[in-house]
């Protein structure tokens, strides 16, 4: 038994650590520990608080639900608290749960088993058959209003055609991203030089909190429903109510099952543990609920969980193996990623030799040493990751892993910007992986779309000193290519023809192809619509850049830095000489100057036009769109449900708020 003072110190440390993990999981959508590791910490805290009740507090993580609330959204109270579930990883604890339930019921109990889909929880209210409001879990008491985003998900009905439904009811479900969509999205993000999502759950949760519903719609989210709440429920059992919900047009999984006893529950859990990898969505366990609503009411709730339900969590597939070394890879944008090289081990049917270590913080968190025995987990990640170390077998001779200070490819001192997790090499003009990566990006389908060239061919051209940057491509001849391995007359001719035809690629795609840090495909289109030529863009200062919708200080700084480099200017001038398009028709050319020199921020929900339509109207009348409020903001076009954070900032800066009606009158559309 530890002393009271030691217990107090440990409790305080655990609370701080758990709160940080909750913030990473719910707010940042970037957890650094597995669910199992998190639950171990929480269980330790619960045990200590029970043993030392004098150190208990109402704001302990054991007494409240983790919160995903964002100040960019308006919050509303949940009519019924949206609590979390207690977790178990063992059959023994599941049987203990059943014993407690039967002690209250006095008779054998029926349970409903449902797959625990790994996504973002949502609570949707319907009034008179129409979708009224959708809230995230939030802190369990209130949640963010994400109704506009939910409206874009095709599997969620806006209107219930069934006549006999309660006047008002709430359905709860899990917003999911199918694995196929997740893989496609990550491929696009990697090609744009963006950080890929860690897993489908993070991608779904992050998408739900986007401020642009059009992007949400493009990501093909789904929703599986698992609960019905109303003062006029159609039945007195959970299973019958879910069958009704299914008949009303909601997606209720076919996997839901009514079980007569604990043995059937355990059979269900075992069955799906082996079948879960065949599903199009990720699951991390099974939820077991008491079927009788009357018994649910008698059992009641704890501060953060219902007593009538429990989550059986599958342990993520893990393997123990030896850490042989850590190598550091340099990506197209200069980001340096540490990779663990392992003794080969079988995990989830494949042999694993390497695992991601993400960044310097992860190495420090794991306290990694060479020769450590490490736990490797797949658990929904793109590639395996190290989740723990077996310290009991560590030798004193094992050397601690230190993150490198200089680029492993060119020797340049690495940079880590404030607020960013990754180190990167700033020597983008001379660092070989970055040079090749920029060329590969330049020729990609969404950029210049030069066919016949791929990663291997670029590597070959680079090794033969035929190219050093993407402007060198336009000097290549058929005679340069024919002698190269795997290339003949026909292939060489096709490549040269594709290079020459790429000069017709429009200006916005050329901007994207340049590979400016943080400038993806969408941002490039936005820039091209505001700055009619690259010459105009080169002259832009930070204020004029951040006045453009979707461009913040980080992107503006990156653009200015790119065009401040003389070597970049030389490359652009060479590309111009070959006829590459560095100007184009201003698609948002103003029709009037009513809003000339005005910078306008749009916030809220509108009835006459969509947000995108208002952005177009602002540009048509000479104004500039901005996504963030600053001292240069002229006014805010304010609709209903304006985000409280923006409202507070506007009031603080004394910025005028213009209603939809007043704005339309100003531009002559009243």
How many whole angstroms separate alpha carbon 225 and alpha carbon 115? 11
Structure tokens of 557? 């700084």
Quick check: is 116 catalytic? Answer: yes
Catalytic residue among 116, 313, 436, 646: 116
CA angle 85, 374, 425 (to 5 degrees): 100
Alpha carbons within 13 A on the beta-carbon side of 300: 4
Alpha-carbon span 151 to 217, nearest angstrom: 9
Largest CA-CA distance found in the chain, in angstroms, rounded: 88
| Residue at token pair 């184009």 | 584
Sheet holding 624-626, edge to edge: 624-626, 599-603, 635-638, 656-659
Residue 661: helix, strand or coil by DSSP? Answer: helix
Paired tokens of 156 = 């969620």
Alpha helix ranges (H) inside 300-420: 360-366
Q: How far is CA 38 from CA 33, 444, 606, in A?
A: 7, 41, 42
The sign of the CA dihedral 22, 28, 33, 34 is: positive
Quick one: which of 132, 133, 310, 125 has its CA closest to 231?
Answer: 125
Q: Give the whole-angstrom CA distance, residue 82 versus residue 124.
A: 12
Do residues 338 and 357 touch, judged by C-beta distance below 8 A? yes
Q: How many angstroms separate the CA atoms of 141 and 84, rounded? A: 11
Token reading at 15: 């609370």
Helix axes 455-463, 432-443, angle to 10 degrees: 130
CA–CA separation, 91 and 96 (whole Å):
9
**And the tokens for 290?**
């008491």
Beta partners for residue 289, in sequence order: 112, 309
Nearest Cα residue to 572 out of 473, 471, 499, 504: 471
Please choose, from the candidates 210, 139, 212, the residue with its C-alpha nearest in 3D space to the C-alpha of residue 175: 210
Among all residues, which ones are annotated catalytic? 116
């Amino acid at each position: 038994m530890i002393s009271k003072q030691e217990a107090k110190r440990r409790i305080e440390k655990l609370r701080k650590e758990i709160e940080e993990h909750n913030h990473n999981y719910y707010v940042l959508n970037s957890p650094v520990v597995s669910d199992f590791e998190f639950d171990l910490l929480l269980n330790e805290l619960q045990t200590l608080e029970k043993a030392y009740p004098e150190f208990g507090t109402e704001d302990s993580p054991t007494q409240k639900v983790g919160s995903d609330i964002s100040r960019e959204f308006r919050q509303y109270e949940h009519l019924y608290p949206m609590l979390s579930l207690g977790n178990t990883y063992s059959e023994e604890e599941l049987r203990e749960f059943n014993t407690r339930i039967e002690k209250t019921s006095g008779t054998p109990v029926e349970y409903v088993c449902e797959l625990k889909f790994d996504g973002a929880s949502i609570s949707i209210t319907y009034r008179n058959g129409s979708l009224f409001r959708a809230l995230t879990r939030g802190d369990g008491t209130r949640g963010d209003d994400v109704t506009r985003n939910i409206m874009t998900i095709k599997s969620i009905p806006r209107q219930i055609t069934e006549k006999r439904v309660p006047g008002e009811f709430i359905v709860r479900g899990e917003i999911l991203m199918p694995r196929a969509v997740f893989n496609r999205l990550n491929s696009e993000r990697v090609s744009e030089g963006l950080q890929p999502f860690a897993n489908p759950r993070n991608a779904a949760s992050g998408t739900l909190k986007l401020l642009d519903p059009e992007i949400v719609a493009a990501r093909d989210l789904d929703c599986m429903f698992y609960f019905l709440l109303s003062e006029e429920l159609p039945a007195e059992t959970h299973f019958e109510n879910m069958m009704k919900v299914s008949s009303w047009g909601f997606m209720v999984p076919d996997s839901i099952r009514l079980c007569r006893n604990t043995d059937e529950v355990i059979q269900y859990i075992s069955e799906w543990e082996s079948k879960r990898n065949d599903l199009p969505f990720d699951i991390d366990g099974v939820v077991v609920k008491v079927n009788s609503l009357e018994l649910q009411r008698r059992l009641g709730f704890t501060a953060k969980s219902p007593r009538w339900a429990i989550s059986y969590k599958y342990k993520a597939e893990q393997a123990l193996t030896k850490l042989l070394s850590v190598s550091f890879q340099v990506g197209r944008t200069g980001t340096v990623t540490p990779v663990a090289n392992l003794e080969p081990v079988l995990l989830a049917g494949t042999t694993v030799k390497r695992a991601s270590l993400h960044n310097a913080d992860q190495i420090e968190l794991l306290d990694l040493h060479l020769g450590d025995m490490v736990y490797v987990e797949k658990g929904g990640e793109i590639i395996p990751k190290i989740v723990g170390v077996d310290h009991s077998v560590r030798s004193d001779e094992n050397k601690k892993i230190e993150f490198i200070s200089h680029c492993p490819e060119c020797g340049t001192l690495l940079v880590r910007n404030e607020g960013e997790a990754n180190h990167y090499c700033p020597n983008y003009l001379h660092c070989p992986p970055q040079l090749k990566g920029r060329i590969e990006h330049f020729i990609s389908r969404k950029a210049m779309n030069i066919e016949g060239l791929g990663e291997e061919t670029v590597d070959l051209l680079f090794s033969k000193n035929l190219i050093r940057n993407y402007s060198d491509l336009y000097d290549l001849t058929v005679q340069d290519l024919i002698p190269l391995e795997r290339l003949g007359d026909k292939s060489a001719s096709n490549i040269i023809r594709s290079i020459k035809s790429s000069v017709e690629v429009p200006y916005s795609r050329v901007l994207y192809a340049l590979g400016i840090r943080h400038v993806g495909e969408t941002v490039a289109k936005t820039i091209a619509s505001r700055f009619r030529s690259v010459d105009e863009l080169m002259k832009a200062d930070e204020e004029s850049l951040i006045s453009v919708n979707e461009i913040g200080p980080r992107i503006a700084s990156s653009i200015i830095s790119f065009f401040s480099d003389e070597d970049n200017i030389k490359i652009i001038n060479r590309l111009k000489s070959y006829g590459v398009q560095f100007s184009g028709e201003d698609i948002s050319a103003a029709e009037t100057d009513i809003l000339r020199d005005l910078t306008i921020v749009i916030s809220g929900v509108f009835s006459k036009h969509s947000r995108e339509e208002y952005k177009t109207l602002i540009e048509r009348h000479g104004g500039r769109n901005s996504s963030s409020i600053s001292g240069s903001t002229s006014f805010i076009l304010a609709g209903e449900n304006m985000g409280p954070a923006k409202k507070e900032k506007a009031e603080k800066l004394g910025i005028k708020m213009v209603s939809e009606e007043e704005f339309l009158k100003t531009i002559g559309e009243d």
